[in-house]
Structure 1
Amino acid sequence: MSLKRKLEGEIEIREGASDAFYDIYKSKPHLVSHASSHFVQSCDLHHGDFGTPGAILSWNYTLDGKAGVCKTEIEKVDDENRLVRQKVIGGDLMDDYKSLVFTCHVVPKDKETSIVRWIFEYEKVRPGVPEPSAMMDSVLAAAKDIDDRHHGIKK
């Protein structure tokens, strides 16, 4: 029985924030905590350089009221298509998933908006493990938080 799955989600952000969002997620992920501290408390570089394949990042986050740690390795950066792909290589998420890959893609929609599209590809360790929908909701909300912060909207 295959427990491999894919979950996709997207959210609109203002076009003026799309480059800023991509730059923060790709090259300055430690700044995510400034806009979305209720979700991401910190992101530290453990190996390599921010924004380059092979870089290893450690994320401290809160999901459903529980503190967690996630270690990721950047697999792919495509500046032309504004896409970053990270593979989870350690942390709490590995308790439930054999493999988990996050792909973030920023796509222009029209003159005023862009779409932040997230794709999670994962394999559960056993039946009954919940879908990572809470994580999806949180990364989408963080994109909106970065958009709002970029435009000076305080929450």
Structure 2
Amino acid sequence: MSSLIGTLEADVEISASADKFFGVMCTAPFKLTTIVPDIVKSCDLLDGLWGALGAITQWTYVFGGVTQTVVLAITSVNPFTKSVTYGLIKGDLSTEFSTFAVKINADQKLVGTTVHLTFTYVKLTDNVSTPQALLDLGVEVIKALGAYLTYAYNAV
């Protein structure tokens, strides 16, 4: 019998600055709809202010060829450490997880940034798969955003 409680983590190296990356992921995630339109279809603010603690957003995204929707709230935000955590309120993930949190931390290096992505979750049943494929999708989005920011701010 596997555990219902889990954590998955990934580190992604990008060339963009931690400030620019955090700026999009925390205060302007709606920009992902133009950066990775094949994955993020919409990101709408339902309540609060973009990037503020308690802000509620609704995301529509494509995962495994299926369009899904999730409503998330910012449960933690720290602009000094470039960290934001989104917690699950409702949506398609609620059919498999009682709790699901996505933490994104951008750590500026001498050259580039290390983005640490963490999923913490509680599965509803033992039959629910570990969300590795969803973590892989998150890594893909991070890489695409990093490449976009690097190009956008280094283009002549």
TM-score tier by shorter-chain length is over 0.9
Gaps of 5+ in 2: none
Match of 1:7 in 2: 8
Give me the whole-angstrom Cα distance separating, in 1, the residues matched to 2:112 and 2:86: 25
TM-score, with length taken from structure 2: 0.92
State the 1:152 CA deviation: 2.7
Q: Deviations over 1:48-91 (max 9, x none)?
A: 00101111000000001110001001011101100001101100
**Equivalents in 1 of 2:139, 2:22: separation in Å?**
13
- For 1:125, give the aligned amino acid: L
Where does 1:107-118 land on structure 2 (aligned, <5 Å)?
107-109=107-109, 111-118=110-117
C-alpha separation in 2, matches of 1:148 and 1:130: 30
Give, in angstroms, the shift of residue 35 of structure 1.
1.1
Q: What secondary structure, in the 3-state scheme, does the structure 2 residue paired with 1:54 have?
A: coil
What amino acid is the match of 1:93?
Answer: L
Task: Give SS of 2:151's match.
Answer: coil
Partner of 1:99: 99
1:146 is displaced (CA, Å) by 1.0
Q: Which amino acid aligns with 1:25?
A: M
CA distance in 1, matches of 2:145, 2:5: 31
Query: One-letter code of the match for 2:50?
Result: F
How do 1:3-152 residues align onto structure 2 when only pairs under 5 Å count? 3-14=4-15, 16-109=16-109, 111-152=110-151
Instruction: Please give the alpha-carbon distance, in whole angstroms, between the structure 2 residues aligned to 1:21 and 1:37.
Output: 17
Q: How much does 1:134 deviate?
A: 1.4
Give distance in 1, aligned partners of 2:58 and 2:134: 16
Partner AA of 2:149 in structure 1: H
- In the TM superposition, residue 130 of structure 1 has moved relative to its aligned partner by 1.0
Deviation at 1:32, TM superposition (A): 1.1
The CA RMSD over aligned residues, in Å, is: 1.4
- After superposing the two structures, state which structure 1 stretch, 65-74 or 140-149, moved more: 140-149
**Structure 1 outlier segments of 4+, above 3 Å:** none
Structure 1 gap segments, 5+ residues each: none
